[in-house]
Amino acid sequence: MGYGPQQVRSRADIRARGGLLTAAFSRLFQAVLTALAASVIVWSLLPLAPGDVATRVLLARGVNDPTAAEIAAAHDALGLNNPLPVQFFQWLGHVLQGDFGQSFTSQASVTQEILERLPATLMLLGLALVFSVVFSVILALLAAAYQDRWPDQLIRAYTQIGAAFPTFVFALLALTFVVVGFQMGQVLSDVTWRAALIPAFIIGLDRAASWTQLLRAGLLQAMNSGYAEVARTRGASERRILLRYALPNAILPFLTAIGVSVGALIGGAPLIEAIFTWPGLGAYLLEALSARNYPVIQAYVLIAALSYVTAAFLVDLAALLLDPRLREVGK
Amino acid sequence: MTAALICEDLSVRYPGGNTPVRNVSFCVSAGECFALVGGSGAGKSSIARALLGLHGAGAKITGALSLNGQDMSRASADAWRRLRGRGVGFVAQNPWSSCDPLRPVGDHVAEAWRCHGLPVTWQAIAKALTALDIPNVGSRQRQYPHTWSGGMLQRASIAAASALTPPIVIADEPTSALDADRAQKVLDALRALGCAVLLISHDMDLVMRNADRIGVLYQGLLVETDTPEVLLKAPAHQETRRLLGALEPLPPRQAPANPTPLIRLRDVSVAYKRGQVQALKPVDLEVGEAEIVGIQGASGSGKSTLLRLVMGLEAPSRGSLWRSEALTPRGALLPIFQDPIGSLVPHWPVWRSVAEPLLAKNQSRRPVKERQERALEALNTVGLGSISPDARPSELSVGQCQRVAIARATITQPALIVADEPTSALDSVSIQQVSKLLRQAAEKGTAVLLVSHDKGFLNRMADRTISLGG
């Protein structure tokens, strides 16, 4: 950390590093377990669905009045005669190879259809995530630095309103006044970064509201802590206390909140995409939902769940790197 | 020789009209150790904050204040900031909460320089830590605060506070998180710096042994200032006499010979998670009637587990545990806890808390009036006859709450009292009172099992002490 010869490693140091690795692997193991559990639930959507799966598949293929023999053949072909656990592992094997099966409606490969639309959604959500993190960190730092003065009061008003209204209110307002009124952006969007800017900004602004509240509270708590007070008695400036002491200590619960929200972000994407007619996965999913197109729903839910698990794992890793107390061996 | 600190007619007034410090005048010469003592609410910490310029924007400071010949009475916030660390150092009460938990200890010391934009080398940090008797500085400064012991971490805090060699260091209860041995080591380290020390403490024993002069604060006023010798010989103010009462030795005690045993543990150990976590290493313990037995051990040595075993809240993993019939009835074994306020029901009048064990004794429910009388009697015996029996715990001091807890634990004259760190939240005057009361309970035939991390306290109190290896 900026002093001391780096090559000298104490025993405690090595143990701390071992602790870090051990802890990271145990978090990874937990993440894989969670992903597996999620995939069981996602898979069970299909066998739990009302009606016979083989009949549905045949209907999707255009066989309107399947005979008993055709249904039996489809059962064989789809492996539906196997015990459920075997069916699950067959399905999982296909999924791991990137095969989510055939769409009930279009009969095209679900994977193919998703891959066509996924980049647009990832672009929008990624940009939205960057916006919301940047907004909330800047606003929370400003609010904490000017506690109870007008910048803080203004930011608090924004967080209250932002947390109280659903995202689509802002989206509608933005659509009406900014996009249509000022002729900015395109309502019928193409997938370009420029077109993604305004919807991402809206999602980011909405998400940032509650995150700003959380980070501001954490910052203020850290600025009143014992170590901040002692730093003051050493002659540290308020800016130094805010950035060097309060921010690293307050960022951990903030990161956790972000990790938890990633799943919600993906789950909420269809609504925003519908408002901005963004050609992402959203409309595709809504269509699949009304058509009970289970392979598509499964694929989407699994993507959302895996994104959540990945985000949670990354947050865990960040926490391990930040907080030495979490990488204690044997605790 | 210029004085390190001159404080004339200092008053601190908060916006609500609360005036915790009134017209306090004292000076600290270079190299002198001046102690400010007083009970809680006497204004000690308010003075410390004012002397660091950290009294908050709302507080109004009047009087003259000069540090190392520099008049700080009307100093700007920026002038104060430049002075802190360089002109006046500060050591806080709890060493762990003084350090940023996310950074190594070396970083904590380096901040002394970095806060003022000064360059710092790791040799300078190592030198500062070595000067305070911290071994293996090279590797130790890369460790995190939570892995350090309290005494050592407090010495590192002193190294940080004195890194820029300020002429005076203010230490606010620097040893209250430590036991007596470690406390003295920290004080020695503080004195060895050679700068003036303003020591704020409630520990009269420590102050008498270490301070050159002592100022006694009472309700925001400095009521008496003199050397320890003079104060000890001729205390002028009642508050001084009250504080000095903590130094009186406990009356001599005759341990009971061949007491009837109440509980016996042979080679008892406790392990969790299929033996992976050893909560308590094998231990032998026997407590007889009217005995005071101490259990000493560092945190994590299994003290609390042992107490739960004795109270029957947990079963041993190995070894044998025998309890006498005398412990069978409900209310025959009562606990006293570390946190006095938390151990009382907040919305109950204290008499109700005190009388509660009377209901638990499998006896027919006595009328309220009788229970109230018994509670009043019990409060009288712990010296709380003057408080209202209808007071709520929040209206009492911590020390008074612990005496209420003792009244509750003794009201049924139980066979055994189990006390878990009963004095660690108390000031020295209250410690003295609680010690006497526990002794009295033992005189009346109640055995006391006393758990503490403080060896000195157990040596004074207990007939014998067993140590739990860490």
Of B151, B143, B172, the closest CA to residue B37 belongs to B172
- Using a CB–CB cutoff of 8 Å, tell me whether A14 touches chain B: no
pLDDT score of A3: 35
- How many CB atoms are closer than 10 A to CB A221? 15
Cβ contact (<8 Å) for A10 and B107? no
Please judge whether B115 and A233 are an interchain contact, meaning their C-beta atoms are less than 8 angstroms apart.
no
String of DSSP letters for A214-233: HHHHHHHHHHTSHHHHHHHH
Most confident of A307-321, B208-222, B247-261, B424-438: B208-222
Which among B98, B125, B144 has the least Cβ separation from residue A227? B98
Residue A288 near residue A296 (C-beta atoms within 8 A):
yes
Which residues 355-414 of B are in CB contact (within 8 Å) with A? none
In a mutagenesis test of the B interface, which of A14, A234, A328 is the best target, namely the one with the most B β-carbons within 10 Å? A234
Quick check: B111 contacting A, CB < 8 Å? yes
Collapsed DSSP state (helix, strand, coil) of residue B220: coil
Report, as ranges of residue numbers, the positions in chain A whose pLDDT lies below 50. 1-10, 330-331
B52 contacts in chain A (CB < 8 Å): 232-233
Helical H segments across B149-284, by residue range: 150-161, 180-192, 204-210, 228-233, 238-244
Nearest to B44 by CA among B203, B156, B280: B203
Chain A contact for B173 (CB, 8 A cutoff): no
Cβ atoms within 10 Å, residue A76:
12
Q: Which residues pair with B197 in a beta bridge?
A: B33, B169
Percent residues over pLDDT 70 in chain B: 98
**What is the Cα–Cα distance from B159 to B129, expressed in whole angstroms?**
6
The answer to whether A232 faces chain B, any CB pair under 8 Å, is: yes
Mark yes or no for CB contact B84/A230 under 8 Å.
no
pLDDT tens digits, B359-394:
875 556 778 888 899 999 999 988 888 888 888 988
Count A/B contacts: CB-CB distance under 8 Å.
99
Q: Supply the pTM of this predicted model.
A: 0.78
Q: Cβ–Cβ of B106/A3 closer than 8 Å?
A: yes
Domain-wise residue ranges, chain B = 3-246, 261-467
Q: What pLDDT score does A330 carry?
A: 44
When CB atoms are compared, the residue of A227, A235, A236 closest to B86 is A235
Average pLDDT of the segment spanning B36-65: 87
pLDDT digit string, tens, across residues B13-38? 988 878 889 999 999 999 999 999 98
Is B79 part of the contact surface with chain A (CB cutoff 8 Å)?
no
Asked whether the beta carbons of B11 and B222 are under 8 A apart, the reply is no
Element (H, E) at B91: strand B88-91
Q: Which residue of B has its CA nearest to A238?
A: B81
Chain B environment of A4 (Cβ under 8 Å): 106, 122, 138, 141-142
Angle at A241 between CA A239 and CA A246, to 5 degrees: 115
Quick check: B58 contacting A, CB < 8 Å?
A: no
CA distance B77 to chain A (A): 10
Give the pLDDT confidence score for residue B129 in this predicted structure: 92
B143 in reach of chain A (CB within 8 A)? yes
pLDDT of res. A17: 57
Contacts 24+ apart (CB under 8 A), B223-227: B225/B26
- Closest chain A C-alpha to B281 CA, distance in angstroms: 18
Q: What is the pLDDT of residues B78-128, one digit of tens each?
A: 999 999 999 999 999 889 899 999 999 999 999 999 999 999 998 999 999
CATH code that applies to domain B261-467: 3.40.50.300
DSSP letter for B404, please: H
CB-based contact, B56 to chain A, within 8 Å: no
Closest approach of B88 to chain A, Cα-based (Å) = 8
Closest CA of chain A from B170, distance in Å: 10
Question: For the sheet containing B277-288, what is the strand order?
Answer: B277-288, B261-272, B318-323
| Spatial distance between the Cα atoms of B200 and B207, rounded to a whole number of angstroms | 9
Q: Is B296 exposed, middle or buried (0-12, 13-18, 19+ CB in 10 A)?
A: buried
**B81 interfaces chain A, CB cutoff of 8 Å:** yes
Residue showing tokens 């709380």: B384
* CB contacts, 8 Å: B111 with chain A: 231, 234, 236
pLDDT reported for residue A331:
37
Selected from 3.40.50.300, 3.40.190.10, 3.80.10.10, 3.40.960.10, the CATH number assigned to the domain covering B3-246 reads 3.40.50.300
- Compute the mean pLDDT over every residue in chain B, rounded to the nearest whole number: 88
Q: Measured between CB atoms, does A121 come within 8 Å of chain B?
A: no
Structure tokens at A158: 């924004």
At B197 the three-state DSSP class reads strand
Q: Tokens 């808390």 label which residue?
A: B353
In a mutational test of the B interface, the residue from A17, A233, A326 whose CB has the highest number of chain B CBs within 10 Å is A233
The answer to whether A167 touches A139, Cβ cutoff 8 Å, is no
Residue A113: alpha-carbon gap to chain centroid: 21
Q: Is B144 on the interface with A (CB under 8 A)?
A: yes
Distance CA B8, CA A272 (A): 67
Measured between alpha carbons, how far is B395 from B391 in angstroms, rounded to an integer? Answer: 6
Of the candidates B125, B142, B161, the beta carbon closest to that of A10 is on: B142
- CA of A230 to nearest chain B CA: how many angstroms apart? 6
Tell me the DSSP string of B315-366: --SEEEEEE-GGG-STTSEEEE-S-TTTTS-TTS-HHHHHHHHHHTSSPPPP
Q: What is the mean pLDDT of residues B72-82?
A: 90
CA nearest neighbour of B36 among B182, B231, B213, B166: B213
Task: With CB atoms and an 8 Å threshold, state whether B115 touches A4.
Answer: no
* Cα B367 versus chain centre, distance: 39
Which of chain A's residues have a Cβ under 8 Å away from the Cβ of B144? 324-325
A230/A222 Cα distance (integer angstroms)? 12
Chain A nearest-CA distance from B148, in A, is 12
Q: What pLDDT score was predicted for residue B195?
A: 92
pLDDT given for residue B362 in this prediction: 57
Q: Widest CA span of chain B, in angstroms?
A: 75
User: Does B176 touch chain A if contact means CB atoms closer than 8 Å?
Assistant: no
Instruction: Determine whether the interchain pair B84/A234 forms a contact, defined as Cβ–Cβ distance below 8 Å.
Output: yes
Query: Over the stretch B424-445, which tens digit does the pLDDT of each residue have?
Result: 778 788 888 889 999 999 999 9
Which residues lie below 8 Å from residue B346, measured CB to CB, with a gap of 6+? B392, B393, B394
What ipTM is given for this predicted complex? 0.78
Distance from CA of B36 to the nearest CA of A (A): 19
**If you search the block for the tokens 């506690």, which residue do you land on?**
A147
pLDDT tier at B301, thresholds 50, 70, 90:
confident
pLDDT grade, residue B1 (50/70/90)? low
- Inspect the interface and report whether the beta carbons of B101 and A12 lie closer than 8 Å: no
Residue entry with tokens 């602790």: A19
Domains (ranges, CATH) in chain A?
12-105+293-331 (no CATH), 116-290 (1.10.3720.10)
Helix/strand number for chain B, H first, E second: 16, 18
Out of B84, B112, B143, name the one closest to residue A12 (CB). Answer: B143
